[in-house]
Amino acid sequence: MGWTNWGRNQRASPVVAAPASVEELQEVVASVSDRGGSVKAIGAGHSFSAIAVPEDVQLSLSHISGLLSVDSVRRHATFAAGTTLNEIAKLLAPHGLAMENLGDIDHQTIAGAISTGTHGSGARFGGLATQVVALAMVTATGELLRIDADTDPELLEGVAVGLGALGVLVEVTLRCVPAFPLHAEERNEPFEDLLGGLPERASLVDHLDMYWFPHTSRILVKTNTRLAPGSAITPPSRIRQWWDDELLGNTVFGLLCRIGSAAPDLIPRINRLASGTIAQRGYSDHSHRVFVANRNVRFVEQEYALPAENVTEAMQRIRSLIERRGWRISFPVELRFSAADRLWMSTAYGRASGYIAVHRYVGEPYEEYFAAVEEICVALGGRPHWGKLHTQKADSLRLGYERFGDFVALRDRLDPDRTFRNSYLDGVLGS
């Protein structure tokens, strides 16, 4: 039986193993290593790049999931690596805890999310891997290796965003926070007015997400403000939420994408209609319900992290590019910001970052559009999201990561025979 990812752009026909325990997983890895094969762990399949595509054995972590322990004093929670982000939110709730930050999709496993450098928004907040204080992984020999911030903080910085190249994660311990609500404000603003001071605007709020529909002059701005734990919430009514998020955000938007795909000349008018019908609203709810959006319309995506001060110029160049080439792009361009961190292979390593993500509706040609946007982003110091589509290779990536050589050396030590390799990793790290 074949495997395909969520975006339907990566496929494989691997041998599938679904170990029922960590011990069984160790045996599978050691067996594959002994015969000189390769093994890739798969999460929820939400990477658009080929980072998790198996070429021999595919490991499912579906049986290695759940909450393992909670340290209520330190607010640390340990999860089996196959636990999804939406499951984590539910498992933490009875303990009065939450993840500090989330992205807008929560179907990923915690192992896959941190390994690919998944992030949310917020100029004062790092990616999901910055919340990791300890982890355990199975190395190529089948050994269970435990790493934590107390005993070896530098090694943890090297392993946290591990790209699946160092071993198979089986446990992840997160630094959590007291559960908190968020107040969301969503509104349309003029494109030109917003671009005037993007990094400054992002620094003034807790979380800022922006969506620009190409061929329009307006941009949807979502601001999430953190409220004190225990604050009263005013969630949208079920009818309003269904109308805005399911009917307009998925059903109608999906229909418009299908129409645009069949008749591209209609896309500018469709985008103006879509951007005009997006709700102007304010509400508050538990943090994970506000951070996350239900996405049913399939797409493929490329995302680059740029120095925060370069995002405005990049957006101006992208808008000019689309107009100059005469392309018809139905999906919005997404902008977010995050804090600098010290994780070796994080796209935000050593610098405050702004993220620009471009998308195409599933089945539409994306290569020319993505390549041109990638050229703009690379010229402005961009680093590609590991789980999104890009064409960068080891020689160019080495120049953008101060600890690239250290990471490759760590890979040589932990996986000298490349048990965890695939073609993607051969390209971005070197074989």
pLDDT tens digits, residue range 224-279? 999 999 999 998 867 667 656 775 677 778 888 888 889 999 999 988 887 776 66
Q: Residue 255 domain-assigned?
A: yes
Q: Residue 78 domain-assigned?
A: no
pLDDT tens digits, residue range 180-238? 999 999 998 888 888 878 999 999 999 999 999 999 998 999 999 999 999 999 988 67
Q: Residue 341 domain-assigned?
A: yes
pLDDT tens digits, residue range 272-307? 887 776 668 899 999 999 999 888 899 999 999 999
| pLDDT band with cut points at 50, 70 and 90 for residue 84 | very high
Mean pLDDT of 354-380: 97
Q: Residue 398 domain-assigned?
A: no
* Ramachandran category for residue 344: left, alpha or beta (phi over 0 → left; psi -120 to 50 → alpha): alpha
Q: Residue 105 domain-assigned?
A: no
pLDDT surpasses 70 at 77: yes
pLDDT of residue 256: 83
Q: Residue 37 domain-assigned?
A: no
CA atoms within 13 A on the CB side of 207: 26
Instruction: Flag the least confident range among 88-92, 282-286, 291-295, 358-362.
Output: 291-295
Q: Residue 392 domain-assigned?
A: no
Q: What is the CATH classification number for the domain harbouring 305?
A: 3.40.462.10
148 burial (CB, 10 Å; 0-12 / 13-18 / 19+) is middle
Helical packing angle, 267-277 and 253-262, nearest 10° = 170
Full-model pTM: 0.95
Mean pLDDT of 367-372: 98
Q: Residue 82 domain-assigned?
A: no
Does residue 304 sit in helix, strand or coil? strand
pLDDT surpasses 70 at 114: yes
Q: Which residues contact 251 (CB under 8 A, 6 or more apart)?
A: none
pLDDT tens digits, residue range 1-13? 689 999 999 999 9
Mean pLDDT of 138-167: 97
pLDDT tens digits, residue range 19-33? 999 999 999 999 999
pLDDT tens digits, residue range 372-429? 999 999 999 999 999 999 999 999 999 999 999 999 999 999 999 999 999 999 999 9
Indicate the number of domains in the chain.
Answer: 1
Domain limits for position 268: 181-384
